[in-house]
Structure 1
Amino acid sequence: MNFEVVTHVMAPPERVFDISLDVDVHSASMAGSAEEAVDGVTAGGMRLGDTVTWRARHFGLHWRMTSTISAYDRPAYFVDEQVSGPFERWYHAHRFHGDDHGGTVMSDIVEFAAPLGPLGRAAELLVLRHYMPRLIHMRNQYIKRVAESAP
């Protein structure tokens, strides 16, 4: 399953890029699911090759997911991919393009697959195709608030 979320942020691409890679910002943006970094990079900014293990609660269950920054070109894009965790596949490309007004167009392109074959595909169609974009949108709104506030 694939989807894209586009968010306009009134801050320069470098600022939005750096904030998007900050583990503390990510944890704060996902407070509703009690997401926290428990291994690897557990605070501050991430770089190419860094790995983080997240612990979170979704659908009343506790999950762990380890992801790595597999591509990185500041301030244009970075990619995080699942190394281990609940998905059969998780690929998340983050792209940042400056606009003509000093802001940034932030695009999140997500490709994922649930495990368990036909049961996973049913979960994708019934639940995850709505849940996952909403989760990324919530995260992006938090990043937007942080980036648009005074540095």
Structure 2
Amino acid sequence: MIEVTLDIGAVQDALVQAADALRNVLESRIQQKLSGGVLRTRSGALAASIQSSVEDDGSAVAIVGSSSGVPYAAIQEFGGKTAAHDIVAVKAKALAFGAGGGQSFAKRVHHPGSTIPSRSYIGSSFAEMSDEIAAGLKQAALEALGQG
């Protein structure tokens, strides 16, 4: 009789370790896209809002990337249409803007809304790295099983 013993815990640990290394690479790629690759950096708030983690529930290992606390993050990632709205001077007596070759001032202006194209930085990074992530996790599992 031949007996084969598998250490599932060792495989799980190897997958978590590999996923964490890949998560670091993924987060760097997302940050690169937010530094001019996809979006120009203005305040840095969107880049600072990026969070990534490795989740392990015992039966699956997942790499998760998200943005929180920045209201415009989703519309930049997925695109969409903003509603018409008024822009009102709050910190000054008037808004100043260029129009018709000169400078104009107003206490309030009506913005008709905008169509914002998708400027994916998280989803596109996952898509670009999907083969690398799959290969890295497969290699980690094979090494943990003593086959890699």
TM-score category by the smaller chain? 0.3 to 0.5
If each structure's strand is expressed as a fraction of its own residues, which one has the higher value? 1
State the structure with more CA Rg. 2
Q: TM-score, normalised by structure 2?
A: 0.36
Q: When the two structures are superposed, what TM-score results if normalisation uses the length of structure 1?
A: 0.36
Compare the two structures and name the one with the higher helix fraction: 2
